[in-house]
Amino acid sequence: MRVLIVEDEVSLAQALVRLLQEEHFQVDMAVDGEEGLLLATTVPYDAIVLDWMLPSMSGIQIVQQIRERSITTPILMLTAKDSVENRVEGLNAGADDYLVKPFATEELIARVRALSRRPSDFVPDQSLTFDDLYFDLITRTVKLHDQENILSPKEAQILEMLIRHAGQVLTRQQMMDAVWGYEADVLEGVLDTYVHHLRKRLAALQGPIIHTIRGVGYTLRGSHS
């Protein structure tokens, strides 16, 4: 079973990852709201453990956007907010369960197991479009003006992230965490190399342009913007 942990307290997030891995779950981790939303809406998880307070967007906002996309993945909210009103707000937003910090690890495992047994009809997108560019996520093929190009797996992950957040500036760290995983030891130069090759592939198609935001990261814009 595959679980997503979205928690900005890094030590807690890492502890939850290890805990669930010991219980034979496959676990992904995000420490930022936008990164968590990206993973939650592109990867078919059996359950999501989601903190209420997160950088860039709140857990409530993430739940709402997940449900607005008709994704039914079970969600367990983690929070220090323990009032009845807070619980009702989380559940009304679309969360399936609620656990107040601090919590017993045995209870979290039991709740995640219970949620992961619920059926989910989430099917990841098979294609994306942006600025007349068609991107087949299954074959990793980009098509524009009767031309096409096949991307490498990492190039495809980077382009998918840029398209889903088109117009937004994504930091290098956000991109590396989403593509290689939070705990991966990846140098920024590796990301820059992949972006360089991806940029050349898009330029050959006269497609969207990946702009470098010096000292921050990258953003995707239309070829005529």
Whether the per-residue pLDDT at 170 is higher than 90: the answer is: no
Pair (112, 181) in one structural domain = no
Determine the Cα–Cα distance for residues 141 and 11; give it in Å rounded to an integer: 38
Pair (148, 107) in one structural domain = no
Query: Is the residue at 210 inside a domain?
Result: yes
Determine the Cα–Cα distance for residues 155 and 191; give it in Å rounded to an integer: 9
Pair (81, 21) in one structural domain = yes
Give the chain's mean pLDDT: 87
Q: What is the pLDDT of residues 76-123, one digit of tens each?
A: 999 887 778 877 888 888 899 989 888 899 999 999 999 988 766 666
Whether the per-residue pLDDT at 129 is higher than 70: the answer is: yes
Q: What is the pLDDT of residues 33-42, one digit of tens each?
A: 888 888 888 7
pTM (global) more than 0.75: no
Pair (16, 110) in one structural domain = yes
**Domain around 25:** 2-116
- For residue 134, what pLDDT band results from cuts at 50, 70 and 90? very high
Pair (108, 136) in one structural domain = no
Whether the per-residue pLDDT at 124 is higher than 80: the answer is: no
What is the reported pLDDT for 164? 84
- Report residue 124 as tokens: 């990841």
- Least confident range from 42-51, 114-123, 187-196: namely 114-123
Pair (92, 141) in one structural domain = no
Q: How large is the average pLDDT for residues 133-160?
A: 92
What is the reported pLDDT for 71? 87
Pair (98, 162) in one structural domain = no
Convert the chain into a string of H (helix), E (strand) and C (coil).
CEEEEECCCHHHHHHHHHHHHHCCCEEEEECCHHHHHHHHCCCCCCEEEEECCCCCCCHHHHHHHHHHCCCCCCEEEEECCCCHHHHHHHHHHCCCEEEECCCCHHHHHHHHHHHHCCCCCCCCCCEEEECCEEEECCCCEEEECCEEEECCHHHHHHHHHHHHCCCCCEEHHHHHHHHHCCCCCCCHHHHHHHHHHHHHHHHHCCCCEEEEECCCEEEEECCCC
Pair (14, 82) in one structural domain = yes
Pair (6, 112) in one structural domain = yes
Query: Is the residue at 121 inside a domain?
Result: no
The percentage of the chain sitting over the pLDDT mark of 70, rounded to a whole number, equals 95
Pair (165, 217) in one structural domain = yes
Query: Is the residue at 103 inside a domain?
Result: yes
Pair (16, 106) in one structural domain = yes
Query: Is the residue at 95 inside a domain?
Result: yes
Query: Rounded to 10 degrees, what is the CA torsion of 97, 48, 52, 41?
Result: -130
Number of separate domains in the chain? 2
